Chains A and B, each alone.
Chain A
């Protein structure tokens, strides 16, 4: 057992922190969010710093890193409130290719991702599917050597910036059957794909994606037909682990911002941090953030374990971190008083981000159910 980060990982952390301090502070971030292509410069920097290449295999332009490298990147991203679609590209997109792609598919896409030339969005959720990965109505019907895609995907994070969409679609079976789901990696600009882009509450960009008789060659399918659920479960666990590290970074920032505020804000003739009721609250916040860091690490370290063990660890962490981030977010805002609900204070933006992260790829209740189901199966 060893909890040390490598020198390379520490350097990775420092380089991101340095970049964020110089190029992604509150005002620069706000300006980048407001501009249509404000993300482009940041994305190019991610490529330069090797953040996109970090977790990718060396034979495809990557640096051969692990999920731990991703967690280092994501915790720093959480601190800086980075909204660029890193997870959907470097985790979901890249890992789907890694687990299920052919040599040709990997050669083409992974190199492009590592170089910063390709953004992937995960078109998985549907308007009525909530977080059930197996609930897939979007259909891909066999047509000669290829497929014809029809359906709608909901709240696809990163779709506005993406060049490629990773789509889950039903090639067989009924709406909620695990068997019969396939994965496709398709260029966004193929005929029949339309998107309606919008910002989300936390400044991320997303879209509703519509497929209307999209003709796909067989080479767009990732992995075997009808049997993608295993890969989908795996990449969603990978993504959740990454998002949880981001949440940890955001929670730590909310803790430190609140502590700073309490040291400087004076009422009744003294710093409000001297009041015990606020001290105890900040201690509870600190403890929740520390446990969250532990659970995010547990989930990350279990990503390569057998399926059930991995899934249980990720869902356990999602439950723990979902609750902690809600508590810390609410407490941080409350302790800032009126200032906490203003747009000009950073704390509220972290609160919004962790709130949205809870409803990304399954909230507390969803993962509590999944954990209980997995436990029952094991017993």
Chain B
């Protein structure tokens, strides 16, 4: 057992770093901090990686995965965080992709996996409903079989970036007679189907990131159902475990710690000395870094086990809870660091030209919106309360 990279791993890191430097689109650098990203922006890096064969490292090689070791995947995430790339969105590559290659028919794999891998098709998640959040299995969106189709009616919510989606994966009720978990099916729905409408929801940071999705007599071919009818809960849980495992965001948090340190060097504390020399601030930053190390080592241990052949288990709930708590503390400390200039609200101001509004330092402009926005992290992907329930039940046997 050791923590050092081998010479092969160092060579791999250098290869990855050089590839990112040579191929990451220059116009995307830092763009997400200046303005909302467009659909094309979100997909640009994904498409480049798709061509290179690096867009879905965790997939089995037969479906286009890279066959990298857990260490190589770790290096991959580190290097992307270092370069602050806009990573492939999780909905296709990390969520529905694994469900399709695990539970889908050969035809379904052939039909859907390449588009996901190459970044040609944008996927959205149709899980939560207004009445079914933490209690996901109580979902009511109904799919009624008519010949070789389902007719789907209902409402989904919190569909992240669904306003751009080409396809969506939906949990629908196909049987109401037994236990709620036993009457759910997993459907892939073309978002252009008649009867699908999407309504963006404004969040408290002023942005539009999630959506309501309304399904009104939407006709869905039966061959777009993954796995057996009424067995969709198996796919749902499998997908959630995958979602959680990726949510910890250790590499990105490490990057954000570095950014916070550089902010602290620019900001002055009350006595005219940089904030980076302020004892109270340094202590909070150090404690955050220490907790991040603990999370990182824990994630590496969990990933190592996963690589030994087991998929992400209930331990992934631990990564979700700790990872999102650290992300939120980072946004909180960044907010503190920027002082008064956290207050101006810039979203509606012009970004360029004579009317542009450069008030206060650039790094301060997003501190408050990001702090407010990231409250979502302890809610989405199964709230942290639900994650604790999972650990209590599945890990501790309570």
Contacts of B280 in A (CB 8 A): 365, 368-369
Contacts of B271 in A (CB 8 A): 132, 176
B201 within 8 A of A: yes
In the bound assembly, the distance between CA atoms of A18 and B359 in angstroms comes to: 38
In the bound assembly, the distance between CA atoms of A321 and B268 in angstroms comes to: 24
Contacts of B346 in A (CB 8 A): 198
Interface string of A113-144 (1 = CB under 8 A from B): 00000000000010111111001000000000
Least CB distance, A14 to chain B, in whole angstroms: 31
Query: Which of A206, A344, A348 is in CB contact (< 8 Å) with B372?
Result: A348
Query: Which of B270, B344, B378 is in CB contact (< 8 Å) with A155?
Result: B344
A338-B380 contact, Cβ under 8 Å, with A132-B271, A176-B272, A201-B368: yes
In the bound assembly, the distance between CA atoms of A159 and B106 in angstroms comes to: 66
| Contact B359 A208, beta carbon cutoff 8 Å | yes
Interface string of B326-341 (1 = CB under 8 A from A): 0000001001100111
| Contact B201 A154, beta carbon cutoff 8 Å | no
A44 within 8 A of B: no
In the bound assembly, the distance between CA atoms of A343 and B203 in angstroms comes to: 5
| Contact B128 A338, beta carbon cutoff 8 Å | yes
Contacts of A128 in B (CB 8 A): 268
Least CB distance, B209 to chain A, in whole angstroms: 9
CB-nearest residue of chain B to A277: B385
Least CB distance, B191 to chain A, in whole angstroms: 21
Interface residues of B in 340-358 (CB under 8 A from A): 340-346, 349, 357
Contacts of B278 in A (CB 8 A): 365
| Contact B379 A154, beta carbon cutoff 8 Å | no
CB-nearest residue of chain A to B378: A334
In the bound assembly, the distance between CA atoms of A334 and B380 in angstroms comes to: 10
Query: Which of B133, B267, B339, B371 is in CB contact (< 8 Å) with A337?
Result: B133
Interface string of A264-280 (1 = CB under 8 A from B): 00111100100001100
A267-B203 contact, Cβ under 8 Å, with A154-B360, A200-B344: no
Contacts of A268 in B (CB 8 A): 134-135, 138
| Contact A344 B202, beta carbon cutoff 8 Å | yes
A352 within 8 A of B: yes
A340 within 8 A of B: yes
Contacts of A204 in B (CB 8 A): 343
A40 within 8 A of B: no
**Most chain-B Cβ atoms within 10 A of its Cβ — which of A128, A204, A208, A341?**
A341
CB-nearest residue of chain A to B266: A128
Chain A residues touching B, range: 35 or more
Interface residues of A in 173-192 (CB under 8 A from B): 175-176
Count B interface residues, CB 8 Å. 53
In the bound assembly, the distance between CA atoms of A176 and B273 in angstroms comes to: 12
Least CB distance, A106 to chain B, in whole angstroms: 30
| Contact A155 B336, beta carbon cutoff 8 Å | no
B197 within 8 A of A: no
Contacts of A333 in B (CB 8 A): 375
CB-nearest residue of chain A to B275: A130
Least CB distance, B282 to chain A, in whole angstroms: 11
B64 within 8 A of A: no
A359 within 8 A of B: yes
Contacts of B132 in A (CB 8 A): 267
In the bound assembly, the distance between CA atoms of A278 and B342 in angstroms comes to: 31
Least CB distance, A351 to chain B, in whole angstroms: 7
Contacts of B368 in A (CB 8 A): 201, 352, 355-356
A171 within 8 A of B: no
Interface string of A214-231 (1 = CB under 8 A from B): 000000000000000000
In the bound assembly, the distance between CA atoms of A369 and B275 in angstroms comes to: 14
Least CB distance, B132 to chain A, in whole angstroms: 8
Interface residues of B in 247-272 (CB under 8 A from A): 267-272
A338-B379 contact, Cβ under 8 Å, with A348-B372, A356-B343, A363-B336: yes
B157 within 8 A of A: yes
Interface string of A330-351 (1 = CB under 8 A from B): 1001100110111110001101
Contacts of B383 in A (CB 8 A): 334, 337
| Contact A342 B344, beta carbon cutoff 8 Å | no
Contacts of A132 in B (CB 8 A): 270-272
CB-nearest residue of chain B to A154: B340
B71 within 8 A of A: no
| Contact A351 B343, beta carbon cutoff 8 Å | no
In the bound assembly, the distance between CA atoms of A347 and B145 in angstroms comes to: 42
B323 within 8 A of A: no
| Contact A341 B204, beta carbon cutoff 8 Å | yes
B112 within 8 A of A: no
- A sample of 28 inter-chain contacts (CB < 8 A) reads A131-B339, A175-B272, A196-B357, A198-B345, A199-B344, A201-B343, A201-B345, A201-B369, A208-B359, A268-B134, A268-B135, A268-B138, A277-B385, A326-B332, A337-B134, A337-B379, A338-B133, A338-B376, A341-B203, A341-B372, A341-B376, A349-B204, A356-B342, A356-B343, A356-B368, A365-B280, A365-B336, A366-B270
Chain B positions within 8 Å of A, measured between CB atoms, are 128, 131-135, 138, 157-158, 201-204, 206, 210, 267-272, 278, 280-281, 332, 335-336, 339-346, 349, 357, 359-360, 368-369, 371-373, 375-376, 378-380, 383-385, 388
Q: A267-B132, A342-B202, A356-B342 are in contact. List 5 more A-B contacts (CB 8 A).
A: A176-B271, A198-B346, A277-B388, A337-B133, A341-B375
